[in-house]
Chains A and B, each alone.
Chain A
Amino acid sequence: MSTVKLTVNGKAVSVEVEDRTLLVHLLRDHLNLTGTHVGCDTSQCGACVVHIDGRSVKSCTVLAAQAAGANVTTIEGIAKGDELHPMQAAFRDNHGLQCGYCTPGMIMSAIDIVHRHGGELDEATVREELEGNICRCTGYHNIVKAVLDAAGRMKVAQAAE
């Protein structure tokens, strides 16, 4: 057992876990942040994507102890109170989900994509960049629409700041 100290969604936390604990299980089982999902558990589907120090990672393939000292952001940490993150709002407005299982990972990956490309995105780039996130319902069409929509909203929001 080890004490892992990290920041999750802006809050400092200290959790006693077995060394073999994966980050996704620390989030879900110890912090009750069950928005982050386990889909394939083999680093392929992307349902477990969270941000570590601002970068998208598959939390099923990171030990909790590896994230000690890091800043972790999950799907629960992106809205401002009742105001959805522009990416969440765009997924809702564009019907970018059906069953919703992949959605938290999709949204966390998508935010990272917009950040890395500075909001300059086209459809082909979004499709290529989402290759690590698998959705078995939507056929991706509305997800791509949502990401492009959000990229515009995030650019506007950034310009206003």
Chain B
Amino acid sequence: MYQTTYHRASSVDEAAALFAKGSEAKFLAGGHTLLPVMKQRLASPSDVIDIGKIKDLIGVQLSGDTLVIKAATTYYDIMTNADVQKAIPAISYLTSVLGDPAVRHRGTIGGSIANNDPAADFPAALISLGATVKTNKRAITADDFFKGLFTTALEDGEIITEVAFPVPEKAGYAKMRHPASRFALTGVFVTKTKGGDVRVAATGASQSGVMRVPAIEAALKSNWSASAIDGVTVSASGLLSDIHGSSDYRANLVKVMAQRAVQAAG
């Protein structure tokens, strides 16, 4: 790892000010993406600004039909939170199959979505549930937030403060885990909103990161059941192809994971 200067911010404003002072600063929450990349010398921030201990960025709130998860809340705290389990159990499940126990003790929802790894789990949940990402500057819908591989709508120095999820009628998640990394070889999140809309998002599948799957959405909208997806064909065009799975294999996984997610949602 190259030299860097560590700062611990005690508020979002202080973090933003520290960022502005650094020549090439990076925010750090759980550090489970940034530190590995720094160790490989693929990133060499001049300053690392720790926002993981800012009290305003930690916690979960359920008010009415909105579940708010603050950005620096760890996967473990999300997984075990009673409001998450009650309002959107699919999110609790998603965190339970993310990484391993020690990773879940450190990794945060804000870190996951800011990084937007094409095989990360949370981007699929945000897109499917129609969440809103709030920052220290504005609110961004999930549809506008994710911009392709490792790219988001975040501007330089902008800090995610929380994610607001509308509580759905039903939601489910299923993923084929890469056996070593625990990342999604392909994962699918399905949602039936309280307004009757159906939104399906797949991660680990597309070359351009998290994607919606309109064909499966249409099938589920007319008939919310796993069998409704039997006749759907997911195109392999634009899907990832690597040593772990060809694009055809992933296209089929999108379908199978969607079916399992619907079964999980009930």
Contact = CB atoms under 8 A, between A and B. Distances in A.
Contacts of B102: 43, 46, 49, 56-58, 109, 112, 132
A49 B106 CA distance: 12
A47 B234 CA distance: 41
Interface in A61-97: 61-63, 65-66, 68
Nearest to A134: B180
B5 interface: yes
9 contacts: A22-B1, A22-B35, A43-B103, A55-B105, A58-B103, A61-B32, A62-B35, A65-B8, A109-B101
Interface of B: 1-6, 8, 28, 31-32, 35-36, 38-39, 48, 50, 52, 76, 99-103, 105-106, 180-182
Given A20-B1, A55-B76, A63-B6, A132 B31 contact: no
A42 interface: yes
A62 B106 contact: yes
B74 to A, nearest CB: 9
Contacts of A22: 1, 35
A129 interface: yes
Contacts of B48: 19, 63
A42 B4 CA distance: 19
Contacts of A57: 102, 105-106
A65 B53 CA distance: 12
Given A57-B106, A112-B101, A132-B100, A43 B3 contact: no
Interface of A is mostly: mixed
Best-surrounded residue of A18, A22, A43, A56 (most CB of chain B within 10 A):
A43
A133 B39 CA distance: 20
A52 B30 CA distance: 13
Given A63-B35, A133-B100, 6 more contacts: A18-B3, A20-B3, A43-B103, A55-B76, A55-B105, A66-B6
Contact of A2 (B6, B38, B52, B76): B6
Contact of B99 (A18, A20, A132, A133): A132
A143 interface: no
Interface string A92-132: 00000000000000000100110010000000000001011
Nearest to B40: A42
A149 interface: no
A44 interface: yes
A68 to B, nearest CB: 7
A154 to B, nearest CB: 17
A17 B28 CA distance: 19
A124 to B, nearest CB: 14
A62 B6 contact: no
Contacts of B1: 20, 22
Nearest to B182: A131
B239 to A, nearest CB: 26
Contact of A63 (B31, B36, B100, B103): B31
Contacts of B31: 61-63, 66
B2 A43 contact: no
Given A19-B3, A20-B2, A61-B36, A56 B8 contact: no
